[in-house]
Amino acid sequence: MNNFVAHTEAERQEMLKNIGLSSIEDLYKDIPSQIRLKGLNLPDELSELELTRELKKLAASNKTDYAYFLGGGAAKRFIPAAVSQISSRFEFNTAYTPYQAEISQGTLQSIYEYQSIICNLTNMDVSNASMYDAATACAEAILMAVRITGRKKALVCKRINPQYREVIQTYAEASDIELSDDLNEIGSDVACVLLQTPDYYGAVHDVDVVREKISDEKTMLICCCDILSLSVLEPPKCDVMVGSLQPAGNSLSFGGPYAGYFACLDKYKRQMPGRVVGRTTDKDGNQAFCLTLQTREQHIRREKATSNICSNQSLIALQSLVYFTLLGTEGLRRVALAAINGAHKLAQKLLDKGFELQSKNFFNEFVLKVNDADAFLANLKENKILGGIKLDDNRVLVCVTEMNTDEEIDNYSYFAV
C-alpha cells in the first residue's frame, strides 16, 4: 500500500524543485483566478454512524414502490443474487485485466466462455469480447461492412432504437458514410442493411423477407436482436448480429455503462472490432487461453486496425456470463416466456377495454394507442404505476418483464383510461 500513501511535504517540495516551481499554486497560475474553485461548500464532518443515518434518511425519500412498465432499451429485470456475489469477487474486481487480459488466465477464460455462449444464442460463428453498448455495436458493425465491401452507403431501418440511430449517425458522419432508411434502395452500392428485431416498438420481424430483397451477394445483413428473445425465437440468418447485454444480469444504471454483444460469420472475423479470446494448449499440453485476435492500433499497424475501442466492458460481460450460466438454456426460456406471456396478457386486457395496439406481433413490448398520452401516464402514476414511455401525444411504449406480477398487470388494466 506504500504507493497509495500521500506525499510528504518534503516529497512535494522535491517534485516542485525538479520542475522549476516554488509552490503548488504555481501549477495553476495560467488559470484565471476568477474561474478557480473557491471552495467545496461541504457540510461539517460526520461520524460513520451519523453518516449512515443521514444516507438512510435521504434514501427513504426515494419512491421505489411503483409497478414498472418502462422499456425502450433498458428494462427492470430479475438478477439472481449470485450474479453480483460472483462477479464482485476480488479476483475480478481488483485485477487490472480489462485492458491487459493476457496477464490473467481467469479473465481470459471468462471472456472465452462468454463468447461461446453468445455464439450459441446467436447461431453465429465468432463473438468478440463484448462492446461498450448496443448503440456502438450497431455503429461498429456498419463500419465493418464498409471496410469489407468497400462501399459507403448503409440502410438503417426506421424502427431502430432512436438512441442507437444517433450514435450511428455520429459514426457515419465522421466516416463519410451515407445513411438511408429506405429499404427499397437496396442495390449494388449498399454496404449493409441494419434491422432491429424485436424493434424499438417491440414488433418481431421476418428477417427472411428483407434478406430476399438483397440480390447483391456483397451487401451484408446486420441484425440487432434482444439477447433473451434468442432463447425462444429462431435467430435470424444474417452476417452480423449485435445487441444489448442489459437484459442479461445487468441492472438499470441510470446513465452508466451497459455492454453490447457482437457476433459474426467466420469469414468476417478479422474485420471484427475489439478482440477475440481463443483456447489453445501450452508447452506442457495443458489447456490455456490467449488473446487470439487484437485489432486495436495499439496492437497492430494503424492502417490495419479495425477499432480503437480500449475497453470491452469486461466486468459487465462477466455479469452476463454468470447470469447465463446460472439460468442455463431452460432458465433463459422461462424468463423470456414469462415476459412474453405477461406482455400479451396485458395487451389482451387493454384490447378488451377498447384500446388499440400498433402491432399484435410483438415480444415483450408493444405500442398502445391512447387519446392523451400525458393524461394516460399521469393517471397511472397517481396509482403507483410507471405505465410506459411516451412516443407522441397518442402512443405509449409499454414493456412487461418477468418482474411484473399478475396483480400489477391487473392494476394496469384497471387504471388504464
The pLDDT tens digits of the residues spanning 49-85 come to 999 999 999 999 988 889 999 999 999 999 999 999 9
**Could you tell me where in the chain the CATH 3.90.1150.10 domains are found?**
67-79+329-415
The ranges of the chain with pLDDT < 50 are: 1, 97, 310
The pLDDT tens digits of the residues spanning 78-113 come to 999 999 999 888 777 665 545 565 667 888 889 999
CA of residue 246 relative to chain centroid, distance? 5
Q: What is the pLDDT of residue 399?
A: 98
Domain 81-323 fold is Aspartate Aminotransferase; domain 2 (3.40.640)
Residue 112 has, within 13 A of its CA and on its CB side, a CA count of: 19
Q: What is the pLDDT of residue 36?
A: 85
Domain 67-79+329-415 fold is Aspartate Aminotransferase, domain 1 (3.90.1150)
Q: What is the pLDDT of residue 220?
A: 97
Name the pTM for this structure: 0.85
The pLDDT tens digits of the residues spanning 139-162 come to 999 999 999 999 999 999 999 999
Q: What is the pLDDT of residue 1?
A: 42
